[in-house]
Amino acid sequence: METGNTERQTCQSSIFDTIKFLIMKNSFLILVLLIAFITTHGQQPTTPPPPPLPAKHADPDAAIVVDGTDTTTSKNDKIFTAVEHEPEYPGGMMKFYQYIHENLKYPEKAKNSGIEGRVILGFIVEKDGSFSDIVINRGLSRECDAEAVRLLKSTEKWNPGVQNGHLVRVMYNVIITFKTPE
């Protein structure tokens, strides 16, 4: 009877030893693979990235360019995203949003459909205070987007941005909110 128990214990011991060996072996294998993954993905690719896709294959969630004004820049016409003095609507941003509130024409189609929300416009404030490259970064509907662009274009020239005492071109964003009156 003891021989059967001894054989069973030897067999169980052998199975446990095999399982421990496989776990240790797989742990080592996983560790090697993890190190290989980290070292290969932490390096820069040696080949250049592929060229951009043609316009017909462009990302549908990308911003919509409304005003295709040429923005090719020389070294002196850099477009800034942060400056010492931000561009500003004459009288300040409160005046800008007051102008928007007074002149917004809520599109009937959007109003009747119950469309509400925000349109986020991006644009460049030029050195003379005019706008170029108006882009819809986040749209709401065709009608609301068009009204937001119309409103922005109808404003007077802004006070341009200033960096190191020089007038500079600045990328800027504004939010125009469409909310049905209650």
Q: Which residue has the higher pLDDT, 133 or 182?
A: 133
How confident is the model over 61-92, as pLDDT tens digits?
Answer: 444 444 444 444 444 589 999 999 999 999 99
100 domain-assigned? yes
pLDDT of amino acid 77? 82
Mean pLDDT of the chain: 77
Same domain, residue pair 74 and 160:
yes
Report residue 5 as tokens: 């128990």
Q: Which residue has the higher pLDDT, 49 or 177?
A: 177
Question: Dihedral of the CA atoms 149, 151, 153, 158 (nearest 10)?
Answer: -120
Q: How many separate domains does the chain show?
A: 2
How confident is the model over 98-117, as pLDDT tens digits?
Answer: 999 999 999 999 999 999 99
Beta strands 117-125 and 131-138, pairing class: antiparallel
Dist. CA 140–CA 146, nearest whole Å: 10
56 domain-assigned? no
156 domain-assigned? yes
**Does pLDDT of 124 surpass 60?**
yes
pLDDT of amino acid 20? 64
pLDDT of amino acid 59? 41
Contact by Cβ (8 Å): 146, 121? no
pLDDT of amino acid 31? 57
pLDDT of amino acid 181? 73
Entry pTM:
0.59
CATH of the domain at 151: 3.30.1150
How confident is the model over 8-45, as pLDDT tens digits?
Answer: 555 556 666 655 665 666 666 565 555 655 555 555 54
22's enclosing H/E stretch is helix 2-41
Domain containing residue 20: 1-48
